[in-house]
Amino acid sequence: MLNIYKAKPKASLLGKTFNFNIDNSDYEVQGISKHQQKIVFVAAALPGEQVQAKVVEDKAGFIRAQTVNVITPSPLRITPPCPHAAVCGGCQLQHLTAESQRELKLQGIDALIRHQTNLPQLPWQPTLASASTGYRRRARIGIWYDKKQRRFDVGFRRQADKQIVALDHCMVLSATLAPVFGVLNQVLPQLKDPTSVTHAEVLQAGSTAFVILRHIRPLSELEQQLFIAAWPEAVWVGEAEQGRFSYWQREVTPEYTLAEQNLRLQFSPDDFIQVNAELNQQMVNQALDWLQVKADDVVLDLYAGIGNFTLALAQRAKTVRALEGVTKMVQQLATNAKLNGLSNVEACQADLHLSWPKASWNKPEYTKVLLDPARAGAAGAIEQIVKLKPAQILYVSCNAATFARDAAMLLQSGYRLQKICGVDMFTHTNHLELMALFSRS
């Protein structure tokens, strides 16, 4: 009789606590260690430290853990400026100065890109940075009603958890948005149905605060007036379901400016805009500087949104064709072009991850291309872009991993990496955005 031996599966390490010696850090500034021949990524741990950390994920090829105690601290470690830093999931790197955060993020990203592209070194330019506090002009705030304790938790999600950390302030929110926690904590307990509001989104347009309340059941006129009375300077907007908004006291179109280009951009509350206004202006300035757009250039702007880069490019180019996947944002882009008197902008809808159709915009006539994709990157679009043979490609990325993958494809297609820089859009978090200029060899 044949007996087939089956190895006994190893018990999961989930929830267990171990001591880890941190050898290095990755591009998100997670500490790197080893345990039972597996690589371990340890949040809030720095190179050279010994930490005690709790396992929050145990996979076949790796482990993720959360630091609970620092046994041997790094000289770089500081006391976080926010009292909620140890639990709030909004910021991950407050145990470092802003300068140290940028340095470690760049080190990790440099190693990642060189590994993916086989480049011996990268042509780094100075990192774009802004103030490390009060920089966010947009945030999503969680609201949880504890039925047993009959109280609200208003804040951000706990690290590696769905639970809400109750806050009364946030150091990275702009001064215009700062009152939101106090207002919500004041009004929410007065609602007839405490579970009717599930979250709030705040955004700043100019000097005006907008508060979008997501509610799963209707709010009465009286309840709406409670919110308005608590913060009359804000514009209160109800969102009964995705994309359906009701302005409670007055309808105002959100708008921001690119002051150095004298441009105005209107948007809907659910449209994407960069959360850091100061850095957004710096990014637009640098795009113009690096691309050196001239009056005879025909430019293709991909993942164009509401025209954040499009309009500034159009002030200098012969023509800018702007492609965006969301039809509503394409319409808003066209409106913004008219609002600013730009007749050389063509706004088109296209899913750039699918095979590009035969269309008026899909022709090899572009001298320069700018693309600003979401975190998934532009894998489906890169093959199409190189067929157009533009002289220069400016890639704006919010995910170093997908950028490294796409950069390798561009290099294999005959482009060279001319310049690259970090953009510290989200200080105190593990994210670092990138801008990179590629030129045809």
Please give the Cα distance from 295 to 307 (Å, whole number). Answer: 19
How far out from the chain centre does Cα 326 lie?
18
How many Cβ atoms from other residues are within 10 Å of residue 159's Cβ?
20
Give the list of residues 6+ apart from residue 170 with CB closer than 8 angstroms, or none. 82, 90, 136, 139, 156, 178, 181
Residue identified by tokens 């209707």 is 218
Kindly tell me the number of DSSP H helices and DSSP E strands found in the chain: 8, 22
**Distance separating alpha carbons of residues 434 and 100, to the nearest angstrom:** 17
Whether 398 is a known active-site residue: answer yes
Cα–Cα distance between 345 and 310 in angstroms, integer? Answer: 8
Q: What is the CA radius of gyration of the chain?
A: 24
- The one-letter amino acid at 97: T
Tokens of 317: 């180019």
The alpha carbon of 70 is separated from its chain's Cα centroid by a whole number of angstroms, namely 29
Indicate the SS3 state at residue 111.
Answer: helix
Active-site choice (88, 170, 398, 421)? 398
3-state secondary structure of 223: helix
Question: Nearest 5 degrees, angle CA 363-CA 407-CA 290?
Answer: 70
Q: Which residues are catalytic?
A: 398
